[in-house]
Amino acid sequence: MKIACFDEGRIGLVDGDEIVDVTTLCEHDPGAWPPVGPTRLIAEFGRYRPRLSQALERSPRRPLAGVTLRTPVPWPNKVIAYPVNYHAHGREMQAGYRATLQGFFLKPNSSLSGAGEPIVLPDLPGREVHHECELAVVIGRQVRNIARDEWRDAVFGYACLLDMVVRGKEERVFRKAYDSFCPVGPWITTADEVGDPSALQARLWVNDELRQDANTRDLVLDIPGMVEMAASVMTLYPGDIIATGTPEGVGPVQAGDRVRIRIERVGEMTVHVVQGRGGRNAPLEQPYDLKIVKQ
Q: How confident is the model at residue 289 (pLDDT cuts 50, 70, 90)?
A: confident
Q: How far apart are CA 198 and CA 178, in angstroms?
A: 30
Residue 87 has pLDDT above 90, yes or no: no
Helices (H) and strands (E) in the chain, counts: 8, 20
Residue pLDDT, tens place only, 6-65: 999 999 999 999 999 999 999 999 999 999 999 999 999 999 999 999 999 999 999 999
Q: CATH 3.90.850.10 spans which residues of the chain? A: 79-278
- H helix or E strand, kind and range, residue 45: helix 45-58
pLDDT score at 97:
56
**Number of C-alpha atoms within 13 angstroms, CB side, residue 11?**
28
Q: How far apart are CA 128 and CA 9, in angstroms?
A: 32
- Best CA proximity match to 12, nearest among 67, 57, 58: 67
Least confidently predicted of 93-97, 104-108, 240-244, 263-267: 93-97
The set of long-range contacts for 223-226, using a CB threshold of 8 Å and a minimum separation of 24, is: 223/137, 223/151, 223/155, 223/197, 223/198, 224/148, 224/149, 224/151, 225/100, 225/148, 226/80, 226/82, 226/99, 226/104, 226/137
Angle at 269 between CA 172 and CA 10, to 5 degrees: 95
- The DSSP secondary-structure symbol of 286 reads S
Alpha-carbon dihedral of residues 222, 192, 239, 205, nearest 10 degrees? Answer: 60
Return the number of other C-beta atoms located less than 10 Å from residue 110's C-beta: 12
Residue 153 has pLDDT above 70, yes or no: yes
pTM for this model (two decimals): 0.94
The CATH class of the 79-278 domain is: alpha beta
Find the radius of gyration of the CA atoms of the chain. Answer: 18
Residue 96 has pLDDT above 90, yes or no: no
